Amino acid sequence: MRETITLRRLGPEDLDVLMAVEEGLFDNAILPDQAEAILNDGRHEMVLAFDGGDAVGMASGQVLLHPDKAPAFFINEVGVRESHQRRGIATALCNRLIGVARARGCEGIWLATEGDNGPARGLYRAMGARETADIVVYDWDGAMDG
């Protein structure tokens, strides 16, 4: 990863930072009410990668609580602008989220990606993640439409 790339874990005081991210890093335009809700919910985590003052990568996740087991952590989304891919930014973002999750006492960390997403699958395998098989996803109201 290049020296100019810095990572920033966002908190409630960083709404202006998140709202200043130029379109294209997230799937859709950032919704102010949702951005504020995520940053103020202690179960959500978001890390941005910056090249100078420009946000070039993001990763988000959430602590999942269960009454019968330790907290788990779901990595919800990882993205890097095309101009900055293949520089180790996604790896750094994932490692930061995994470190945060472990520090928060999470004992299971997981994510999912599309079967045909070769770059993502390669990234996660290179990071030592175990790829599982025979997982079937069900959704309601178009949740998996992107």
Range with the lowest mean pLDDT among 11-15, 85-89, 135-139?
A: 135-139
Write down the pLDDT at residue 84. Answer: 96
144 SS3 class: helix
Write down the pLDDT at residue 128. Answer: 94
Angstrom distance (rounded) from CA 137 to CA 134: 10
Tell me yes or no: is domain 5-145 CATH 2.60.120.260. Answer: no
Write down the pLDDT at residue 2. Answer: 46
Tell how strand 69-80 and strand 108-110 pair up.
parallel
The tens digit of pLDDT for each residue in 58-67 reads 999 999 999 9
* CA proximity to 1, closest of 60, 80, 64, 89: 89
pTM of the model: 0.91
For the segment 74-97, the average pLDDT, to the nearest whole number, is 96
Write down the pLDDT at residue 3. Answer: 58
Range with the lowest mean pLDDT among 40-49, 58-67, 112-121?
A: 112-121
Q: How many helices (H) and strands (E) does the chain have?
A: 4, 5
Write down the pLDDT at residue 133. Answer: 86
Residue 55 · residue 6 · CB < 8 Å: no
Residue 38 has pLDDT above 60, yes or no: yes
Write down the pLDDT at residue 58. Answer: 98
The tens digit of pLDDT for each residue in 1-14 reads 445 899 999 999 99
Write down the pLDDT at residue 110. Answer: 95
Domain ranges in the chain are 5-145
- Burial of residue 96 (CB within 10 Å: 0-12, 13-18, 19+) is middle
